[in-house]
Amino acid sequence: MKVSLFITCLSDAIYPRVGEAMAKLLARHGVKLHFPETQTCCGQPAFNSGYWDEARASAQTLLDAFEDSDFVVSPSGSCTSMIHHYYPDLFKDDPVMLDRVRRFTEKTYEFSQFLVNVLGVTDIGASFPHKVTYHPSCHGSRLLGIKDEPRALLANIKGLKFVDLPYAEDCCGFGGTFAVKMADISGAMVEEKVNHVLETEAEVLVGMDMGCLMNISGRLHYEGKPVRVMHIAELLYEGVKQSV
């Protein structure tokens, strides 16, 4: 079984530790991640800005990079949902490419989906004695339907005290190019999200998409609030190391 890592732009350029955590966690369950070096951006920024030709070129590169992979795993619900929901639109007039897209989407998973639904793992033997709240990113929860998987993983961590995030389903205001085009609205949205995070009195905010987490973390830092922000793969791996 050839399982490949689609690292995504943010994780590759800014948060490589997320990919490292994924690789080390999956290795504990017999999965050695393959990393095609020709992979690139999923094309979502171009797609959202109306540059479909450029987005199509990025998509073509990904399709080629992962052609012979049995599974593709990504740390981003947003990028994974781009593949699942918008690649068919990009190639709707090309039956040959559309078939390749279908095969690509069928084997592509967000990290928690792959761990829980493909490998059948919900308890990785982790220990993390901290108060934690969870932000479900919009694309992962609404477009991919990821709801129970992250919670199942968190529920089996020894010592972790989970507290629900008020209005968790509300957007954090990032939205990729939205945060650039509508900066004032985006800022108001993330301010509201941070206020809800602080209401929980959690030590750690966890999520499954570094775009959202980067946005929330930036606001927390701006306000001088000592809440640690982690991708779920980072938290799980740190928990495994603590339990050894």
Q: Tell me which architecture the domain covering 131-243 has in CATH.
A: 3-Layer(aba) Sandwich (3.40)
Q: Which two tokens mark 101?
A: 């897209």
User: Which H or E run contains 179?
Assistant: helix 178-181
Decide the pairing of beta strands 3-5 and 33-34.
parallel
DSSP per position, 6-34? ---HHHHHT-HHHHHHHHHHHHTTT--EE
Predicted pLDDT of residue 135: 96
Each domain of the chain, given as residue ranges in start order, spans 3-118, 131-243
How many of the other CB atoms lie within 10 Å of CB of 83?
A: 24
* Res 180 pLDDT > 90: no
The model's pLDDT over 12-59, given as tens digits with 9 standing for 90+, comes to 999 999 999 999 999 999 999 999 999 999 999 999 999 999 999 999
Whether 3-118 shares its CATH topology with 131-243 is answered yes
The model's pLDDT over 228-238, given as tens digits with 9 standing for 90+, comes to 999 999 999 99
Average pLDDT, the chain: 95
Predicted pLDDT of residue 244: 61
DSSP per position, 180-198? HHTHHHHHHHHHHHHHHHH
Over residues 206-223, the mean pLDDT reads 95
Distance separating alpha carbons of residues 115 and 134, to the nearest angstrom: 18
The model's pLDDT over 64-97, given as tens digits with 9 standing for 90+, comes to 999 999 999 999 999 999 999 999 999 999 999 9
Over residues 172-197, the mean pLDDT reads 90
Q: Which residues of 8-36 are buried (b: 16+ CB within 10 A; e: fewer)?
A: bbbbbeebeebbebbbebbeeeebebeeb
Q: Report the CATH fold assignment for 3-118.
A: Rossmann fold (3.40.50)
The model's pLDDT over 138-167, given as tens digits with 9 standing for 90+, comes to 988 988 999 999 999 999 999 999 999 999
How many of the other CB atoms lie within 10 Å of CB of 226?
A: 7
Predicted pLDDT of residue 176: 77
Predicted pLDDT of residue 31: 96
> Environment class of residue 50 by beta-carbon count within 10 Å: exposed (0-12), middle (13-18) or buried (19+)?
exposed
